[in-house]
Amino acid sequence: MARALIEKRTDWTGIGFAAVLTIVIIFPLLVVGTWAFTNVWRYPSVIPQEFGLKFWQQTLARADVWSSITTSLSLSVTVTLLSCVICLPAAYAFARMEFPARNLLFFSFLAGHAFPKFGLLVAIAGIFLQLNLIATFWGVVLIQLVGTLLFMIWIPVAAFQSVDRRMEEAARDVGAKPFRVFWSITLPQAGPTIAAAVLLSFVGTFYETEGAWLIGAPQIRTLPVLMISFINNQPVIQYGAVLSVILWVPSFAALLFARRIISSGSFARGFGG
């Protein structure tokens, strides 16, 4: 019956969906990608007059581009590592222990995402100004760290909760102390799901602009912030286009990594499947 339906009716929802996706994602990506490899492209031509790597050479020759790449990478790595150190034990505690105000605390992580972020950031910026954290590396780390809390707690909590308690007890039974059980049993069992959260955290931090700009400017310039300023200030589109193509790299890396996790089947297992 399902087949008959598909044959008879045109799937307008599906077509609409595909169309919207094409217009808002694939088309802009194509345009930006084309711009990045264009030397000359004047109106009204539909395709560029001259392709080339001229602007890649010019962009990659700039010192501020390289320093922003370094800044972005070190920020993302630092934030992700710190987030792991803070959030994973906290998530374990949320998943396995009962303590006062547990639920209140648990849902408080939502609060940061439930209100307009920019207003919140301005308020935090005010505080940071007094603490001399404005325009410092660690100021940006702190603000981006807050941004990762939600999914670095919520996703691992779900992952830890789906680990079979009997497996942990069996490890205690053969002589493992609680920390060893966490390290050798719980963490590997929850591993694939947690890896997904870490990945999200890294990519999310890499692309984060509001906090990075508000707290970090003008000293700390991440790659996305630099790209925005290029787009805003440069009459030449190609600079921004090249940077945005560079910015695709972490996304692709993340997608490839995610694919490996998913195809190994451990992803579903991590979600308790």
Partner 1 sequence: MAMLDIQGVTKKFSTTMAVDDFSLTVADGELVCLLGPSGSGKSTLLRMIGGFETPSGGLITIDGDDVTRVPPERRPTGMVFQSHALWTHMNVFNNLAFGLKLRHLPKAEIRQKVEAVLELVGLSGYGSRATTQLSGGQQQRVALARSLVLEPKILLLDEPFASLDQHLRERLREEVRDIQQRLKITTLFVTHGQDEALALADRIVVMRDGHTEQADRPDVVYREPASPFVAGFIGSMNLVDGTIANNVFTHTGFTVPLTAADGQATLAVRPEALHIVPASGVGMAKIHRVTDYGTHAIVDIDLPDGVRLKAMVGEARAWTAGQAINLKPRAFAAYRDNVAIFRSLDNHG
Q: Which residues bind partner 1 (CB under 8 A)?
A: 164, 166-167, 169-177, 180, 184-185, 188-189, 191, 269
Beta-ladder partners of 40: 50
The C-alpha atoms of residue 240 and residue 32 are separated, in whole angstroms, by: 9
Q: How far is the CB of 214 from partner 1 (least distance, A)?
A: 42
Q: How far is the CB of 163 from partner 1 (least distance, A)?
A: 10
Length of the chain: 273
Per DSSP bridges, beta strands 38-40 and 50-51 are antiparallel
Nearer to partner 1, 78 or 162 (CB): 162
Q: How far is the CB of 156 from partner 1 (least distance, A)?
A: 17
User: Is the Cβ–Cβ distance between 53 and 115 less than 8 Å?
Assistant: no
Beta-ladder partners of 50: 40
CA angle centred on 182, ends 180 and 183, rounded to 5°: 65
Nearer to partner 1, 198 or 243 (CB): 198
Nearer to partner 1, 15 or 170 (CB): 170
Q: What burial class does residue 119 get, using C-beta atoms within 10 Å of its C-beta: 0-12 exposed, 13-18 middle, 19+ buried?
A: exposed
Q: DSSP letters along 54-95, please? A: HHHHHHHT-HHHHHHHHHHHHHHHHHHHHHHHHHHHHHHHHH
CB contact set of 147 (below 8 Å; sequence gap of 6+):
112, 204, 205, 208, 211
Q: How far is the CB of 263 from partner 1 (least distance, A)?
A: 17
Q: How far is the CB of 176 from partner 1 (least distance, A)?
A: 6
CA angle centred on 83, ends 82 and 87, rounded to 5°: 125
Q: How far is the CB of 174 from partner 1 (least distance, A)?
A: 3
Nearer to partner 1, 33 or 191 (CB): 191
Nearer to partner 1, 7 or 173 (CB): 173
CA angle centred on 146, ends 145 and 151, rounded to 5°: 90
Q: How far is the CB of 104 from partner 1 (least distance, A)?
A: 23
Three-state secondary-structure class, residue 51 = strand
Nearer to partner 1, 64 or 164 (CB): 164
Q: How far is the CB of 191 from partner 1 (least distance, A)?
A: 8
User: Is the Cβ–Cβ distance between 67 and 223 less than 8 Å?
Assistant: no
Nearer to partner 1, 220 or 261 (CB): 261
Nearer to partner 1, 177 or 259 (CB): 177
